[in-house]
Structure formats: C-alpha cells, structure tokens
Chain A
Amino acid sequence: MSKENLTDKSGINTEDMILNMGPQHPSTHGVLRLKIHTDGEVVSKIEPIIGYLHRCFEKHSENLPYEQVVPFTDRCDYLSSMHMSHGYSIAVEKLLDIELPERVEYIRVIVSELQRIASHAFFIGVFGLDVGAITPFTWVFRDRERIVDLFETLTGARLLYNYVWPGGVSHDLPDKFVSRTLEFLDYFEPQLIEIDELLTTNKIFIERTADIGVLDKDVAINYGVTGPSLRASGIEFDLRKNEPYSVYDKLDFDVPVGKGEMGTVGDCWDRYIVRFLEIKESIKILRQCFKLIPKGDVHAALPKKVRPRKGSVYSRFESSRGELGYYIISDGKNVPTRVKMRSPAFSNLSALAQVSEGWMISDVITILGSLDIVLGEIDR
C-alpha cells in the first residue's frame, strides 16, 4: 500500500495512541525502546529511547593504557569486533606515527572483510526473519558459523577477538588458515546464489520491502547516515574508496549503490541488496589479498610502550554499519585523555524517526531491521 493511502484520514480527527515497544522485543535487535505515537495503525511520531546497554566505554578508556582499551572496543559492536579494534588501532597509530609491515595490513584487511561477510550475512538472516522469512535465517547462520569457526582457529575466541592491536596484530595467521578460508569461500559463493533465489526476487519479500521506508539522500546525509544504508540511497560513499586506509588502494573492488530496481531508490529492498552485493565484493577482496599477501614479521612494528605524541586525531573507518570514527586526545602519557567513539549505528538510528513517519507499525519493524543497528555500539 502506498504512503498516501495510509495517511488519508478523510477529515476525521482521532486521538493518538502511544504504543510502547521494547526494551524487550525481539525485532528491536537488542534492548531498544520505541515510543510510537500512532493514529490507528499509522505511525505519526516515533521516539527511540536508548541507553539500556550503556557500559561507560569512554569513561573506562580514560583510565586504561591504550593497549588495554582494545578489548573494550571489541565489546561495543559485538557483531563486528574486528572492525572496532581495527578502527581504534588505526587512530592510535596515527598519533604514534608508525609504519606497519605490509603483511600486517593484509592480515587486517583479511579479517576485516571476513568480519564484514559475517556481519552482513547476519543482517540478511535477521532481516528476512523480520519480514517473516525463516529459512534464510537458518541457512546464513549455518554459513556464518564457518566464519566464526575460522576466527576461533585464528584467535581462540568466537565473538570478541582482541586480535588487532595498535602497531600490529596479536599473532600471525596459523597453519592452514589460508587454505581453510579459501575452502570456505569456494563453498560460500554457490550458497549465495541459493540465498539470492530465496529472498531477492521473492514476491512476498519484495512486497514487504520495496517502496517502504524511503530514505532520501539529502535527508540521509543531514542525519549522518553512513555505510550501506547511505549507499542504498544512491550515494557512492565508502571510506575504503574515499579515504583508503590499510591496503585498500591496492585492491580492486566496486562499491554497490542502490538503484531502486524494485521500487524507489533508498527503500528497504535497496538497503538489503547493497549489503548482499557487498558480500560478493568482500569475497573478491579476500581472494586478491591471499594472492598478494607477502611474508614478514607481524610484530616488527609493535611498540614496546604505547606513548603517543601530544595532540588529537579524528580517524575514520568503514565498519559494516558505516563510518566508525575515533576522536582520541593524547597528552603524552600512556593513558588517553579522551576517547570518543563516533558509532555509525548511533547516527543511523537517529534517522529512524524521520524515515518511519507515516508508515504502519509492521513497516517500522522492516525499516528498523533494514538499518541494521547493534545496540551495543549505540549505547557504548
């Protein structure tokens, strides 16, 4: 049903009802509370209430040495821990002014892209679940499990890795990691076709997502929406291309953008397909990395003591949810004076109120799912 039909009130004014959704609600993807003002079944105003998972990340980091902050960053976005510690390490390295061995950069890109596949696969599963498709959820979880297993062989942990450190990585890739990952990629690529057939062109899925929750590109930028959600609105904004870090400038990959194939540019379907296509790009990056990775010592640039110069830095990183920024102020000690995390989902969620206005309550779930939020990172 189009948005215009929903808002037609035929001149009769009725009282708004306030509906409370959450904090314990499966489709809020964590502990998010939504205060929804409704007119019948149509949302007239929406107010996200956050903070249920606040763990004082920024205060903690002011009392810890730089290297001990890394495990805390992992716990912020628990679905892409590698990105969190990678982004933080880049920020600290900018203050330290150190050059990394090329092998370290390639290893970081490998784990980051594997993490991106895992995170986007997770998104496809739960987004399908949000709109009522249960099969894709079980299928992508079976495949994501293999990535988690790969990380387990690499770091010993399944979700929170503490692998990327300022100045390097904690240890080199273990034996057979490369062959196992290649084996996984060979297995996973045909699986993608199956998921594609299940969801992308599924009539019910298109009905639920196409033309729903259109995020205009000007609105998106004004709200600071980044990552796949912004790219779905038709803007080619990817920090891996715009401000390449690590070795992304040596790698060949495309940035998928929303084209509005099933409806309007920037609708929920576009936000789904952008992430789906990004998985394919990540696989492409991984295959190149395994060809290009040089030999070397991963601990060569690891500083004995992390004591950055005086000053401040704002460092940007493309996490699976968008622009992950770290603003770090150092006064020359081994403890940071201030660490601010600009979490991508925090800004993405703030656009929810604007996007979901005028849609039905069931569509709010779809829109929220398509924004792919992680509450751990929003509340920090």
Chain B
Amino acid sequence: MPEKTLIDSIKSIDDSIAYDDETKIFSIGEVDKWFEIATEIKNLNFDYLMCITSIDLENDQLALAYNLHSTETKKSIEFNLVFPKDAQIPSIESLWKTADWHEREAYDMMGIKFVNHPDMKRILLPHDWEGHPLRKNYVVADYYHGMYIPKDKTEWE
C-alpha cells in the first residue's frame, strides 16, 4: 500500500497520472507517455516488474495492469492503462526484461499492439493461429489446418 509521499512523488512525474484512493491504483490518461513515465518510476527504485495483465473491457476498449514492486523499500504499486482497441502501446521491455515475454503474451492472447518491442510475435499459440482468444468476442474457428475443432463437448465426460 503506497504512502502519501510516494503517491505525491509519482503524481508529480506527469499531469496525466491519477490515483484512486479506494482501489489504490494509479491510472494514466495518455498512453503515449507511458514509456517516459515508466522510466521515471523505475528511477524511484521500482526494480521488479511482477506482472502485466491484459484486460478486455468489452466497450471497444482494452486495458493493461502493471504490478510493480521495489525490492529495496518493499512497496508495491499498480498502474492501469485504458485505451481503444487499435492503440499502439509503448513497450517497456528495455526497462524491465520481464516485460519481454509478458508483452508477447498480451499480444498473443489479447491482441494488444506494442511498439519498440524487439521480437513481437506469438508466444503460447502457434504462429499461424488466427484471432486472440482472450477477447470476449472471440469465436473458435471451425477448422485448424484441416482438423475439425469440436465445440459440443457434452459427450466427452
């Protein structure tokens, strides 16, 4: 749980950073500035990026949740980015290497496009897979490489 001085120092990085007292989450209005903001956050001793979660908000919007931790001060913070489906998100792979695979996963599963990532390709699914499964409107294809994909699984049990 971040304390007041930390919240103020994070807010002073950029005007577009907002903090919700109830959920204890920071949010950023302008996603284009994310890389510059992230660089400043890393300078505040947040050396460990725990997790990147991609979220489908359904109203043509996607979101990303970044969970950061400082191994020195033992503080954890969370950043949320909300953006339209076709937005380009700056990659933070050069700051935290954890982001490399996590961003690839977010692209693979949710179809979020990252710019400045050195090796942006699918990670868990085959390279020729169509669609991004974790989107709420994802429909399973009928065939994959000529193999029928069964959808009615009631008789499997």
Residues on A close to B: CB < 8 A? 50-51, 54, 56, 58-59, 62, 221-224, 235, 237, 242, 311-312, 314, 316, 323, 325, 327, 329, 338, 340, 342, 346-347, 350-351, 354, 379-380
Contact = CB atoms under 8 A, between A and B. Distances in A.
B134 A316 contact: no
Given A58-B134, A327-B67, A338-B55, A50 B123 contact: yes
Contacts of B49: 224
Contacts of B74: 242
A346 B50 contact: no
A221 B124 contact: no
A224 B53 contact: no
A34 B101 CA distance: 15
B98 A222 contact: yes
A327 B125 CA distance: 21
B96 interface: yes
Contacts, number: 75
B14 interface: no
Given A327-B65, A350-B97, A350-B101, A59 B53 contact: no
B112 to A, nearest CB: 13
17 contacts: A51-B126, A58-B134, A59-B133, A222-B97, A224-B49, A237-B71, A311-B23, A312-B65, A314-B50, A325-B50, A325-B67, A327-B65, A338-B53, A342-B51, A350-B101, A351-B97, A379-B124
B79 to A, nearest CB: 12
B109 interface: yes
Interface bin, chain B = 20 to 34
Closest 4 CB pairs of A and B: A224-B98, A342-B51, A51-B124, A340-B53
B48 interface: yes
Interface string B47-88: 111110111100000000101000100101010000000000
Contacts of A350: 97-98, 100-101
A56 B133 CA distance: 9
B96 A222 contact: yes
